[in-house]
Structure 1
């Protein structure tokens, strides 16, 4: 990936040069000063904050400069507020910059050895191979020798890593199923061990009781026959005491084994609970994807050569004006054809990449509903459309992805709601901005 998926900002600093919103490279190299967070291009703030700062750190820092509640705000709200602070500059951006510098001081010192852009790229490549991404990413983005090309290259490689993580989800589900089976086998093994420990404990108690009875009998016998052989009684008592000591040693051994087994059982139970939570999240995402696939199949079904079958799948949009913000050009063209075929109007705005953002604010008040895919829209456009829709009383809803399936599944739910409840209010989206 040679360039990021957005248009770079333009600035008139020092004679109308084309560069990101940051000090010129010559100025940084001459002053040997690292770039601050607020000096980076605004489109890089999302990746820097999302990669290099955890949600816990942001929950402690962001509420100091905003009116968000650190305990009740969602992760997305916290992240979005942090990006806005970085773009705005000021005290919030300085605090974020300080947190990054303190957390990754070691990586910054290690990257100071780079005296030219190529050496900086070599250090970044080594960090990618070792998997130590967050420290190296901040050290590269803020390095005095980081050119526009170096930052674009690091951004692109980080972007592709996110795709690899998504592709690994299916393998994770298979591993979860295997772990569930293994956990069941371990639980059965623990139950057998506990039953064996109970059996050994009963044998130990019986042995101790028998030894005690023997000792009492010998003591009574010694009282009744005080004139009998003292040597034989002492030998018998010694033997019984040794037997009791042996029983106590065995008791201590079995007790330690039982406690160790209980600890292992508790650990495995905690691991099982964590795996069940992960499995539940994966199954919830799978249900959403299955619903989208089913809706897309119904919408594209030819129905024996009857074109009306496709229109019925999205008949809710008939006579409706829909504004779609973000997305991808290929998917947007298919969506527009579906809506036009159903007798509706779909207005597509890419969020400011090629279309002017002023056109978006003018189109929103006249829409019946506003849709936007959360995986293909920038923060500024999402914030603006929410404000405009709330001001004008226009319904808006997020879509899980920019795919045709997410759009068709949303419209199918609106069809079902309109048929059963006879109401024009769109139901809330089944997609959660936090959990997916």
Structure 2
């Protein structure tokens, strides 16, 4: 696997350097202590927290160390704050580390049997085959024998799995419909079983009363021999036991059906949330395609159609952080043709980050694609822009379509209300 497309962040003075970033692996093999979350490379925190901790757990833990409201903050804000706590170290990172260790104590003990990187990779591959990924991912990343290659392999395979999950949205929608139908059928079956249990209970009570009356009748029956009495008692006892067995059978079936219905309801809720996220992403992509298509089709009738599509940038200075070289060159020429200036900074891969901080105060707006920028650069952008009162907004991707769609909205907003600034983007500040 290739290295992530960003420069490794520099650790601060109060954070111990990650063991995988040491110049040699000899010291790593000599260490018998598991790595803590704050000691890992900051670029691994996003995948660890997003994969190994649920949103419900983060909503209980993160507000204790931040000013976020656990009831009103979005899932993205909770995740973003958790990543920043892990990067900063301190009490928040310790609490996250403790939550991971307690939740995956079994997986950690299982992976402790690995005494070298090869054995560790074997355990990780077994976990991939079984689908038990979150416990194995934390156990691998924090293992004392996890080398750079081991962590890169685990990170890359998890990254590709995320692409497969995104491609499975349509299958999830079909499964959601099937699960809802199955859930309704199970509920109807439970209702029928509960009605049957009530009937069986009534039958058992009636049989018990009948047996009691028969026993009283036998006691009053003259001339009954002890052998006849014992045979009658044995017959009545077998009848009672048969009724109890039938009742236990129906009770176990009802409990199993209720458990299955609860599991299906939980899966339905998760798939419904995924469906909402897929619809939201679809709307964003459709808006980008429509904006790019308008700019492309109008170019046949009006030579300046593409410049009119980004008319808002005329006379303005736009800072664009991150992105890809090919698309950045197209964006720069497009803005220049519209009479604006686009300052491109790669976020610190080749350009120094100090130049970025110096360029932001003179900008009219700062844009950055969330798929081509790291957490460290994003956090620094937010702090500097808020300090100098500069508008900033995320773009869904580093594509030309995302840029054109966002600037088209700025153009429409400026024409409707010329005195207002750029509209606040509804796009996610971290992952889209």
Under TM normalisation by the shorter chain, which class is it? 0.7 to 0.9
Equivalent position of 2:377 in the other structure: 381
Separation in 2, partners of 1:337, 1:296: 16
Residue 323 of structure 2 corresponds to 327
Classify 1:162/1:330 alpha carbon distance in 2 versus 1 (closer, same or farther; 3 Å): farther
- Deviation of residue 320 (structure 1)? 1.3
Task: Name which of 422, 426, 429 aligns with 1:426.
Answer: 422
Q: Give the C-alpha shift of residue 295 in structure 1.
A: 0.3
Q: CA deviation at 1:24?
A: 6.1
Change (3 A) 1:23 1:113: farther
2:365 alignment partner in structure 1: 369
Matched ranges for 1:4-403 at <5 A = 4-8=4-8, 20-21=20-21, 25-173=25-173, 279-301=275-297, 303-304=299-300, 306-403=302-399
d(CA) in 1 for partners of 2:54 and 2:7? 27
In structure 1, the residue corresponding to 2:366 is in which secondary structure?
strand
- 8 Å Cα contact 2:367-2:393 kept in structure 1: yes
- SS of 1:323's equivalent? strand
Over aligned residues, Cα RMSD in angstroms?
3.6
User: Equivalents in 2 of 1:423, 1:25: separation in Å?
Assistant: 59
| C-alpha distance in 2 between matches for 1:426 and 1:270 | 40
Q: 1:31 & 1:303 partners in 2: Cα distance?
A: 63
Deviations 1:241-290 (A, max 9, x none): xxxxxxxxxxxxxxx9xxx9xx9xx9999998887665454333322211
Match of 2:144, SS? Answer: coil
- What SS class does the counterpart of residue 327 from structure 1 fall into? coil
Q: Deviation at 1:352?
A: 1.8
Following the alignment from structure 2 to structure 1, what is the Cα–Cα distance between the partners of residues 68 and 18?
Answer: 36
Deviation, 1:337, is 2.2
* SS of alignment partner, residue 372 of structure 2: coil
Supply the distance in 2 between the matched residues of 1:157 and 1:110 (Cα, whole angstroms): 21
- CA deviation digits over 1:145-176, x for unaligned, max 9? 11111111111111111111122224434555
Please state how far the C-alpha of 1:395 moved relative to its aligned partner: 1.3
2:58–2:82 Cα contact (<8 Å) kept: yes
C-alpha change, 1:174 and 1:349, in structure 2 (3 Å) is farther
Q: Please tell me whether the aligned partners of residues 19 and 28 of structure 2 are also in contact (alpha carbons under 8 angstroms).
A: no
Distance 1:82 1:176, change over 3 A: closer
Cα deviation 1:114-143 (Å, max 9, x = unaligned): 121111111111111111111111111111
Tell me the equivalent position of 2:228.
none
Q: Give the aligned partner of residue 408 of structure 1.
A: 404
Structure 2: distance between partners of 1:405 and 1:323:
17
Stretches of structure 2 lacking an aligned partner (at least 5 in a row): 196-249
Counterparts in 2 of 1:345 and 1:124: CA distance versus 1, 3 Å: same
Quote how far apart the aligned CAs of 1:292 are: 0.8
Tell me: CA distance 1:174–1:328, structure 2 relative to 1, closer, same or farther (3 Å). farther
Q: Secondary structure at the match of 2:348?
A: coil
1:368 CA drift (Å): 0.8
Please state how far the C-alpha of 1:18 moved relative to its aligned partner. 11
TM-score, normalised by the number of residues in structure 2: 0.73
Query: Aligned partners of 2:268 and 2:42: how far apart in 1?
Result: 42
> Does the 8 Å contact 1:361/1:388 carry over to 2?
yes
Tell me if the contact between 1:316 and 1:411 (Cα under 8 Å) persists in the aligned partners.
Answer: yes
**Structure 1 contact 20–148 (Cα < 8 Å) conserved:** yes
Name the counterpart of 1:204: none
Distance in structure 2 (CA, Å) of the matches to 1:157 and 1:388: 35
8 Å CA contact retained: 1:51, 1:134? yes
Mapped partners of 2:275, 2:68: distance in 1: 31
Decide whether aligned partners of structure 1 residues 290 and 177 sit closer, same or farther in structure 2, where only a CA change above 3 A counts.
farther
Provide the TM-score with structure 1 as the length reference: 0.72
**What is the distance in 2 between the residues matched to 1:270 and 1:349?**
45
CA distance in 1, matches of 2:151, 2:6: 14
Of structures 1 and 2, the larger Rg is shown by 1
In structure 1, distance between residues paired with 2:428 and 2:295: 24
